[in-house]
Homo-oligomer: A and B are copies of this chain.
Amino acid sequence: MYKAPVEDILFTLKHVVGMDAALKKGQLGDLTEDLVDAILMEGGRFATDEMAPLGDIGDKQPARIVDGGVKTPEGWPALYKAWAEGGWNSLTAPVDYGGQGLPHMLLVATLEMWNGGSMAFTLGPTLTIGAVEAIEAHATQELKDKYLPRMISGEWMGSMNLTEPHSGSDLGVMKSRAERRDDGTYRIFGQKIFITYGEHDFTDNIIHLVLARLPDAPAGSRGISLFLVPKFLVNDDGSLGARNDVHVHALEHKLGIHGSPTCQMIFGDGKFGSEPGAIGYLIGEENKGLACMFTMMNNARLAVGMQGVAIAEAATQKAIQYANDRTQGRAPGWKGEGMSPIIEHPDVQRMLVTMKALTQGSRAITYACAHAIDMAHATEGETRRFWEERANLLTPIAKSFPTDCGVEVASLGIQVHGGMGFIEETGAARLLRDSRIAPIYEGTNGIQAIDLIGRKLPQSGGNHVRAFINEIKDVVEEVRASNRPGFGKTAEKLADAVAELTEATEWMLATLGEGKMVEALAGATPYQRLFGLTLTGAYLARGGLADASDGRDDARIALARFTAENLLSETAALKDRVIHGAESLAAARAALA
């Protein structure tokens, strides 16, 4: 059973991504190390004791449509209530509306633990956080006052309605439409697909945020507006009024996250209300809906990255436990009686250590991103701009690398289990099934790579990314200076990786500068992986360097060394693909005919 890795999380926050320094400088408000410890320990307890036991039920009892509504798995509505009552929904929400206003890193850390307990469950709360952010940033005061307090307390949940059958990654072509009414409201018509928790039985009301197009809107992505469409209209006294004209039409039958209802939603077909049309309230300005969405897109991407970290952690824990329990064959050097635990076989060790390294690297990257977001909030001027650029740069990597690792680690976890891994009761297979959506939604990892090279590398004329790479070089020097033999060739291998990353980055900047988009795009995904792997090597080395006085220093140094000497060897190949891959790729188009 999954156990929230509170110690690893705290170690990463404190010793790897810079929370300790920020706390000492007082940059994180009233927050103290003790408070961080207390919050995460209590969150870990909830994830381990309350959520994880209900994860399997969510897989075996998929959400289903009953009487026009959605019934979630047994025990989940009560779990949600307990979770919301624990205050977990309001952690980072604005204080003005009842939130606790804590730093983003605490949200990210708890999201990791909730997703480790049950990714399918956690999706609902995750989407609500996004809806709260969009409303807080762009809605009128009236809408904020009416909706935010109850969405932040968890009494109501939110949903995000973007995708349509022909409009996934390219939102500009969506067809849902909105009509103005004289009273300042709008009527919404259209179908949306892939709407996570579009309907459910966790809360009495659901606040849908919906993208739609006004009749006179410009074509494309500049003609999309954002609307707030409650499932039940809300009276001025706060009581629930009439049912709005929006309903769930069907649920998707998915590979994983079965407990999470993925809804086809219909707006304005006249099923409810006196005339067809779901009543909606404009958020932000007309035709500026996409901009409103983008304000929260970065945080949503990081939230999906946490799903990757969580699945990788859960798969690693499960595989290590199985490998300790299961005996088979006799490993070389095994001195015990009978068969050895399979963890003694070098090949099984290779899988497990790889899983561990990718998990820890993914965690560090996402927490570094969260730290950058917090620092951007805590600082001003040039410093703020620096941290904003850091958060921008890290976001596509923090979404893509952990979610790719989630799939890879979950698949390795099945392999460690052998035949038992293919049997659903073991639970290893579910982790692979759940993991597989994360590289896709909230912008496919390919789209993250386009964002990384096209928008993030060019920040400050390329100087931000250069500065970041220089920080990694500092880690190399620190490893060298530490003179700890346990690091083996870590410094040398990490230095090689940094050199590859530098070369690939300069090539990418130059290629983009010359407007050679096909060449640059052909290398985007290998570049993104190269960046993620190098960061993994750097952060694990930084973890090894930290003197945490917890007696695990040697283990951390050994993991950093394994990462550098085994996993980073891939960076040369990745650089090669970035710089030299495009021509042969274009030629090979002929092989797809």
Contacts and interface: CB of A to CB of B under 8 A. Distances in A.
B521 A345 contact: yes
A503 interface: no
Contact of A591 (B327, B424, B440, B555): B555
A591 B559 contact: yes
A5 B55 CA distance: 42
Given A414-B436, A422-B437, A429-B436, A588 B569 contact: no
Copies in the complex: 2
Interface stretch (A20-28, A375-383, A577-585): A577-585
A546 interface: no
* Residue with the greatest number of chain B CB neighbours at <10 A, chosen from A170, A255, A343, A574: A255
Contact of A588 (B450, B562, B588): B562
Interface in A430-461: 432-433, 436-437, 439-441, 444-446, 449-450
Contacts of A437: 419, 422
B585 A353 contact: yes
B440 A419 contact: yes
Contact of A419 (B166, B194, B423, B570): B194
A137 interface: no
Contact of A593 (B425, B486, B555): B555
Contacts of A561: 584, 587-588
B170 A558 contact: no
A253 interface: yes
A581 B565 contact: yes
B415 A346 contact: no
A522 B569 contact: no
A525 interface: yes
A353 B2 CA distance: 38
Contacts of A357: 588
Interface residues of A, number: 96
Given A346-B585, A353-B591, A591-B559, A418 B444 contact: yes
Nearest to A444: B418
A347 interface: yes
A569 B592 CA distance: 22
A562 B584 contact: yes
16 contacts: A168-B419, A254-B423, A254-B424, A347-B449, A347-B524, A349-B588, A351-B446, A421-B440, A486-B587, A558-B588, A562-B587, A565-B576, A569-B572, A569-B576, A570-B570, A570-B573
4 closest Cβ contacts across the A-B interface? A569-B573, A255-B429, A562-B588, A332-B517
Interface of A: 163, 166, 168-170, 173, 194, 252-256, 320, 327-329, 332-333, 338-339, 343, 345-353, 356-357, 407, 411, 414-415, 418-419, 421-425, 429, 432-433, 436-437, 439-441, 444-446, 449-450, 486, 488-489, 517-518, 521-522, 524-525, 554-556, 558-559, 561-562, 564-566, 569-570, 572-574, 576-577, 580-593
